[in-house]
């Protein structure tokens, strides 16, 4: 199949409370309103198995060791890639994913300290070597993140320490620095309307007016 006919994959990344899920949804709504063919997915999740894995991963009453956590995220990603992302890209759809492979490097690599080399290898399998065409990193300081999520019931990963968030945030920024052509870093403390405008602008640039 001619890869130039593939749709585009756009991912959203950031620490908790950054507003990335809202922006991902806003982009989906915008593109749909403009008659683009677009699907929305998320990780962990996106498939029936993936959503079950998500429940396990976020269960605050469950203890999960670091490597098992990694394997669960990867299992969810492989299902999502094979059953949702790849088939939709192949039929020319735009796929928006709320989190993708960079989350694993940021959280399990920088956050938990697992081997980057092994994560890279396993990410390559779980994504079937598909990389996002564009990744929005919605960056906020870890203090704001903690402040924003404080009011809700925290899930297993949200209950982590501020030091953990700091490592994850810095990890994301490092990733963005290493791949400036793929990443757009946005300041998550800006107003939502401004952020939305930036997201739409960069996406339209990527799509180049094609429908």
* Distance between CA atoms of residues 175 and 28, nearest Å: 25
Q: Is the dihedral of CA 144, 20, 44, 175 positive or negative?
A: negative
Applying CB under 6 A, among 43, 79, 133, 139 the residue interacting with ligand TYD is 43
**Residue 51 CB, nearest approach to ligand TYD (Å):** 11
CA angle 133, 169, 144 (to 5 degrees): 115
CA angle 66, 67, 69 (to 5 degrees): 65
* Distance between CA atoms of residues 166 and 141, nearest Å: 8
Applying CB under 6 A, among 6, 7, 16, 79 the residue interacting with ligand TYD is 16
The size of the interface with ligand TYD (CB under 6 A), counted in residues, is 13
Strands 134-139 and 94-98: unpaired
Q: x/- site string to ligand TYD, residues 76 to 115, per CB under 6 A?
A: -----------------------x---xx--xx-------
**Residue 35 CB, nearest approach to ligand TYD (Å):** 28
3-state secondary structure 58-126: HCCCCCCCHHHHHHHHHHHHHHHHHHHHHHHHHCCCEEEEECCHHHHHHHHHHHCCCCHHHHHHHHHHH
**Residue 44 CB, nearest approach to ligand TYD (Å):** 5
Site for ligand TYD in 137-196 (CB under 6 A): 157-158
**Residue 8 CB, nearest approach to ligand TYD (Å):** 20
Applying CB under 6 A, among 6, 73, 136, 183 the residue interacting with ligand TYD is 73
Residue nearest to ligand TYD (CB): 107
Binding residues vs ligand TYD (CB under 6 A):
16, 21, 43-44, 58, 73, 99, 103-104, 107-108, 157-158
């Amino acid at each position: 199949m001619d890869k130039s006919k593939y749709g585009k994959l756009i991912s959203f990344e950031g620490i908790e409370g950054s507003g990335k899920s809202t922006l991902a949804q806003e982009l989906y709504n915008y593109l749909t309103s403009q008659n683009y063919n677009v699907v929305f997915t998320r990780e962990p999740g996106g498939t029936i198995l993936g959503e079950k894995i998500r429940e396990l991963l976020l269960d605050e009453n469950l203890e999960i060791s670091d490597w098992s956590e990694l394997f669960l995220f990867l299992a969810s990603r492989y299902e999502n890639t094979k059953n949702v992302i790849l088939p939709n890209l192949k039929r020319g759809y735009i796929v928006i994913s709320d989190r993708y492979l960079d989350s694993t490097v940021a959280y399990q690599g920088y956050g938990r300290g697992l081997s980057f080399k092994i994560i890279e290898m396993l990410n390559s399998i779980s994504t079937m070597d598909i990389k996002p065409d564009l990744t929005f990193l919605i960056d906020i300081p870890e203090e704001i993140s903690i402040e924003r999520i404080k009011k809700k019931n925290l899930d297993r990963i949200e209950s982590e320490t501020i030091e953990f968030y700091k490592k994850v945030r810095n990890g994301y920024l490092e990733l963005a620095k290493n791949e400036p052509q793929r990443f757009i870093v946005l300041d998550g403390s800006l107003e939502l309307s401004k952020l939305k405008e930036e997201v739409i602008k960069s996406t339209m640039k990527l799509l180049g007016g094609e429908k």
